[in-house]
Chains A and B, each alone.
Chain A
Amino acid sequence: MINLTYPFSEDVVRELKAGDVVSVNGRVWTGRDRLHKRFADGGAIPVDMRGGALYHCGPVVVPAIPVHPGAAPWRIAAGGPTTSMRENPYEAAFIEKTGVRLIIGKGGMDATVLAACERFGAVYLQAVGGAAAVTARAVKSVENVYFLKEFGAAEACWELEVEDFQCVVAMDAHGVSLFESVQRESLARFKSLIKAV
Chain B
Amino acid sequence: MKKIAREIAELVHSTSSSLPSDAERAIRSALRREARGSSACMVLETILKNVALARAAGTPLCQDTGTLTFFVDASLRRKAPQSAFDEAVAYASSQGWLRRNTIDPITGASIDSNVCPGAPVVHYVGSDAKEGHGTIRLIMKGGGSENMSVQFSLPDASLGAARDMEGVRKCVLAAVQRAQGFGCAPGLLGVCVGGDRASGFEEAKMQLLRDIGDANPVPALAKLERRILKEANSLGIGPMGLGGKTTLLGVKIGTRPRLPASYFVTVAYMCWAARRGVLVV
Within 8 Å CB of A153, what residues of B? 100
Instruction: Using C-beta atoms within 8 Å of the partner chain, give the interface range for chain B.
Output: 35 or more
Within 8 Å CB of B161, what residues of A? 194
A193 at the interface (CB under 8 A from B): yes
Contact across chains for B144 and A60 when beta carbons are under 8 A apart? no
Q: How far is the CA of A165 from the CA of B244 in the complex (A)?
A: 22
B88 to chain A: closest CB distance in Å? 19
Q: How far is the CA of A186 from the CA of B173 in the complex (A)?
A: 11
B125 at the interface (CB under 8 A from A): no
B263 at the interface (CB under 8 A from A): no
Contact across chains for A182 and B180 when beta carbons are under 8 A apart? yes
Binds B, one of A6-14, A46-54, A88-96, A133-141: A133-141
Within 8 Å CB of B180, what residues of A? 179, 182-183, 186
Contact across chains for A132 and B63 when beta carbons are under 8 A apart? yes
Contact across chains for B49 and A58 when beta carbons are under 8 A apart? no
For A134, the closest partner residue in chain B by CB is B50
For the complex, count residues of A whose C-beta is within 8 A of B. Answer: 47
B277 at the interface (CB under 8 A from A): no
Q: Is the interface of A mostly helix, strand, loop or mixed?
A: mixed
Q: How far is the CA of A138 from the CA of B60 in the complex (A)?
A: 15
Contact across chains for A107 and B61 when beta carbons are under 8 A apart? no
Interface centre among A83, A130, A137 (most CB of B within 10 A): A130
Binds A, one of B40-48, B78-86, B194-202: B40-48
Contact across chains for B170 and A82 when beta carbons are under 8 A apart? no
B250 at the interface (CB under 8 A from A): no
* Chain B 59-74 per-residue mask, 1 if CB under 8 angstroms from chain A, else 0: 1111110000000000
Within 8 Å CB of A21, what residues of B? 39, 42
B231 at the interface (CB under 8 A from A): yes
Contact across chains for B99 and A133 when beta carbons are under 8 A apart? no
Q: How far is the CA of A79 from the CA of B62 in the complex (A)?
A: 8
A16 at the interface (CB under 8 A from B): no
B238 at the interface (CB under 8 A from A): yes
Interface residues of A in 78-111 (CB under 8 A from B): 78-80, 82-83, 85, 106-108
A-B contact pairs, 10 of them (CB 8 A): A78-B63, A107-B182, A128-B43, A128-B50, A132-B60, A133-B60, A168-B39, A179-B242, A182-B236, A182-B241
